[in-house]
Amino acid sequence: MGKLIIVLISFVWVVIASSQVAKFFQKIRLPLITGFLFSGILIGPYGLDLVHAESIPNLDIVNYTSLAFIAFAAGAELYLKEIRNSIKSIVWNTVGQLIITFLLGSVTMYFIADMVPFMNGMSHESKIAVAILTGTIFVARSPSSAIAVINEMRAKGPFTKTAISVTVIKDVLVIFLFTICLAFANTLIHNTDFGIFFIFYLIISLIITLGLGYLIAKFIELLLLVPISIYIKSMLILVSGFAIYELSHFIRDYSALNFPFELLIEPLLVCIVASFWITNYTKVREDFYKVIEDAGPMVYAAFFTLTGAAMSIDILIKTWTVALLIFFVRLIAMVIGSFIGGYLAKDPKLHRRLGWMPYVTQAGVGLALAFEVAGDFPDWGMQFATIIIAVIVLNQIIGPPLFKWSIKLVGESHLALKGNEGTHRTALIFGLEHHSLRLARDLQKEHYSVEIASIERRKNISHIKDVKIHFLEDLNVKCLHSINIKKFHTIILMLSDGENYKACKLLFNNFETKVVVVRLFDSIYSEKFLELGALVVDPATAITKLIEQFVRSPIAGSLILGDTEQNAIVDIKIRDKNLHGIALRDLRLPPDTLILAVKRKGQMLISHGYTRLRKGDIVTMVGSMESLEDISLQFEE
> Does residue 419 register a pLDDT over 50?
no
| Residue 92 exposure: Cα atoms within 13 Å on the Cβ side | 15
Question: Do the two domains 426-544 and 565-634 of this chain adopt the same fold?
Answer: no
Task: Return the domain boundaries, the chain.
Answer: 59-412, 426-544, 565-634
487 and 518 Cβ atoms separated by less than 8 Å = no
Tell me which of 444 and 417 has the higher pLDDT: 444
**pLDDT above 70 for 421:** no
Contact 456, 437 (CB under 8 A): no
Residue 450 near residue 427 (C-beta atoms within 8 A): yes
Q: Is the CATH number of domain 426-544 3.40.50.720?
A: yes
CA distance 370 to 384: 8
What CATH fold (topology level) applies to the domain 565-634?
A: Alpha-Beta Plaits (3.30.70)
Please return the burial class of 142, using the count of CB atoms within 10 Å of its CB with bins 0-12, 13-18 and 19+.
buried
Task: Sort 458 into a burial class: Cβ within 10 Å, 0-12 / 13-18 / 19+.
Answer: exposed
Distances (CA, A) of 170 to 98, 215, 367, 395: 7, 24, 15, 16
pLDDT at 364: 67
pLDDT tens sequence across 89-113:
778 888 888 888 899 989 988 888 8
Q: pLDDT digits over 564-573, tens only?
A: 556 677 778 8
Measure the CA–CA gap between 355 and 158, rounded to whole angstroms.
12
Q: What is the mean pLDDT of the chain?
A: 80
Cα(571)–Cα(628) distance, rounded to whole angstroms?
10
**What DSSP string describes 495-527?**
S-HHHHHHHHHHHHHHSS--EEEEE-SSGGGHH
* SS3 (DSSP) at 553: coil
Q: Identify the three-state secondary structure at position 28.
A: coil
601-636 pLDDT, tens digit per residue, is 777 777 777 788 888 888 888 777 777 777 776 776
Indicate the pTM of the whole model: 0.65
Pick one of 1.20.1530.20, 1.10.1060.10, 3.40.1010.10, 1.10.150.120 as the CATH number of 59-412: 1.20.1530.20
Contact 194/201 with Cβ under 8 angstroms? Answer: no
